[in-house]
Amino acid sequence: MLPSDDRTWENNDVTRRRENSERLEAAAKLVVPGGVYGHGALTTRAHPRFFESGTGAHVTDVDGNELIDFMCGYGPNLLGMGHPRVEAAAERQRRKGDCFSGPTARWVELAEALVERIGHADWAMFTKNGTDATTLCTTIARAATGRRKILVARGAYHGAAPWCTPSDAGVPAEDRAHLLHYRYNDLESVAEAVARAGDDLAGIMVSPFRHDTFVDQELPTTEFARGLRRACDRAGAVLMIDEVRAGLRLARGGSWERLSVDPDLSAWGKALGNGYAISAVVGREDLRDAARRVYATGSFWYGGVAMAAACETLAVADEIGLPEMLTATGQQFRAGLEELATANGFSLRQTGPPQLPMVLFEGDTDFSLGKFFTGDAIDRGVYMHPYHNMFLSAAHTPAIVAEALERLSGSFESLRRYVDAAGPEGSR
Ligand code: PMP
């Protein structure tokens, strides 16, 4: 076995400045619990923790290293960082004001834009983060049905609130008492969970595809999607799709429209404002009254700047034919990685939609190959993740993807040398 610690990539032959990032992290640890917490800490020691600036598909860390970024802020940067039209729209609103005692006209414009593009949307409500949106979905489902149980897929991420956070720390069992699990793409497990919920089933939440950390991505079968719809219809429960991560990259509207399956509610976030803090819940007419009754608010939830950014993001996405564009560059990236891996004697597992690339090394159960590879890639100016799905933006042009692949060819060669030097013990 290769060592799986986070510093193995330091054995490569490229160096990069890391002092500022490490100094800031040490300083943060004194004044912020854990230093950097959250998804930014999901990476390895090789990944810079702090960033300075970004444009398009490139980010620069606090040590001045410029990187082609395949994480896009874990999703929000849909059109690329600092997109001129989105920034201009945000700036126009910022000059007028952001935070008032009520919303701006952008509230109506954005709701209209979402209702127009998403098949099952007859109305929209606005929040700030994905967690706000998924949590609001469950509240509306419970208000509508007067029931308590919510089904989620085992291992799926729906946010950081007590009902759904992956950590048990500080979470009383009562906060999850009404959560039941099924397995993605497994209708038998859905039927079992529905039976356990009995006459208390409020709703089923599902991701457009399985995009859990650490494992292969999995597209839903049509049978699974229709089976969830049927299960909700039979039980009088609410079907909720969590579009927070995948939304807008897979389709212009709802991600399951191509399967002809409409949910009752869906949660949107991340990409919606191209980096501005905005998320949304959209839903069907028969849930409008329940949505009106629940108490939903936040000091910044009326903010006009993020809504102006979101309206422009949607307009630009339509003009450039975004999902098709991302599919093409995603396929280019996938094919290029495959070729480089094979040339260097590695086998990759690339799963799910190419717009959200997931790249794992075959047999790399402890992620030692992935950690070395992504560490080395950062040294060569490509920011990738060893075990979380990545994201493409419209700024990842074919030329930039080709440039990234060129740099990554060095990383595959470096990994080959590293594995060979480890001898038969470390060979894959
Ligand atoms: N649902 C999914 C599918 C997500 O990927 C995320 C964020 N990674 C969330 C919900 C929570 O969103 P946020 O971090 O904006 O609260």
What is the C-alpha separation between 193 and 122, in angstroms, rounded? 29
Task: Tell me which fold the domain 14-73+322-423 belongs to.
Answer: Aspartate Aminotransferase, domain 1 (3.90.1150)
pLDDT at 4: 66
Atom of ligand 1 nearest to the CA of 129: 15
Q: Is the pTM of this model over 0.85?
A: yes
Nearest residue to 137 (alpha-carbon basis) of 8, 244, 9: 244
Q: Is 73 in the pocket of ligand 1 (CB under 6 A)?
A: no
pLDDT at 415: 96
Task: Tell me which fold the domain 84-319 belongs to.
Answer: Aspartate Aminotransferase; domain 2 (3.40.640)
CA distances from 30 to 33, 50, 159, 319, 410 (A): 8, 16, 27, 47, 37
Q: Is 130 in the pocket of ligand 1 (CB under 6 A)?
A: yes
41-80 per-position pLDDT tens digit: 888 888 999 999 999 999 999 999 999 999 999 999 999 9
pLDDT at 428: 54
Q: Which stretches in the chain have pLDDT values below 50?
A: none
Pairing of β 201-206 and β 149-153: parallel
Q: Is 129 in the pocket of ligand 1 (CB under 6 A)?
A: yes
Q: Is 210 in the pocket of ligand 1 (CB under 6 A)?
A: no
From-to residues of CATH 3.90.1150.10 in the chain:
14-73+322-423
Q: If 0-12 CB within 10 Å is exposed, 13-18 middle and 19+ buried, where does residue 369 land?
A: buried
Q: Is 134 in the pocket of ligand 1 (CB under 6 A)?
A: yes
pLDDT at 15: 83
pLDDT at 94: 98
* Strands of 238-242's sheet in order across: 123-127, 279-283, 265-268, 238-242, 201-206, 149-153, 179-182
Q: Is 159 in the pocket of ligand 1 (CB under 6 A)?
A: yes
Handedness of CA 48, 129, 109, 122 (dihedral sign): positive
Please tell me the distance between residue 413's alpha carbon and the centre of ligand 1 in angstroms. Answer: 35
From-to residues of CATH 3.40.640.10 in the chain:
84-319
Handedness of CA 160, 165, 168, 173 (dihedral sign): positive
Q: If 0-12 CB within 10 Å is exposed, 13-18 middle and 19+ buried, where does residue 230 land?
A: middle
